[in-house]
Amino acid sequence: MKNRSDFGLGRVGIWSFDLDVQPMAKAQEAVIELEELGFRCVWVPEAVGREPFASCGLLLSATKKLTMATGIASMHARSATTMAAGWKTLTEKFGDRFLLGIGASHQHLAEKVHQSTYEKPYSAMVEYLDVMDNAVFFAATNNATTSSFGRARAKDVETFSPTWFGCASVLRAG
């Protein structure tokens, strides 16, 4: 069990865009080496590189204990419902090994790359997180073959308990 006071991240982690500019096989070799060196967490950005949920899933599949985190996944890059679905999909498979960091990003990225508006980022984040809390996730979970809308809301599914801090939110399973 990971130390809850540090979210299981350890004292030192790696944040790097370098994994995005390598072929995925090389990036997987790199995270395996980082895990062997004793690092507990690698953070991946979202800007103009790989899509962070897919990247984290592929990198997690190459490791045994390493935590992958988004630093950050931009709320301007996807709807709150899609963000919640990506988070739940990865935590279903990897549990505490996936950490979702959500942020407002930078104004120029929100407006130029994602064609979004960047006004009142704190208020926009609060609203975004409220939508995530009520997002419908209709997929098999907890090794079940079926799912119902009655257990589909993020706030009602026991496996997924969000923890928020600051304007950049971090969601952790369990």
Residue with tokens 């279903």: 92
Residue 118's identity, in one-letter code, is: Y
> pLDDT tier at 137 (50, 70, 90 boundaries)?
confident
CATH number for domain 4-173, candidates 3.40.50.720, 3.40.640.10, 3.20.20.30, 3.40.50.150 = 3.20.20.30
Q: Which two tokens stand for residue 56?
A: 């984290």
Is the pLDDT at 41 greater than 50? The verdict is yes
**In this predicted model, what pLDDT tens digit does every residue of 140-152 receive, in sequence order?**
665 443 232 333 3
Q: Taking Cα atoms as reference points, which of 104, 146, 145 lies closest to residue 123?
A: 104
**In this predicted model, what pLDDT tens digit does every residue of 43-63 receive, in sequence order?**
999 988 999 999 999 999 999
Task: Look up the pTM and report it.
Answer: 0.79
**Residue 88 neighbours by CB under 8 Å, 6+ apart:** 137, 139, 141, 154, 157, 160
The domain segmentation of the chain, as residue ranges, is 4-173
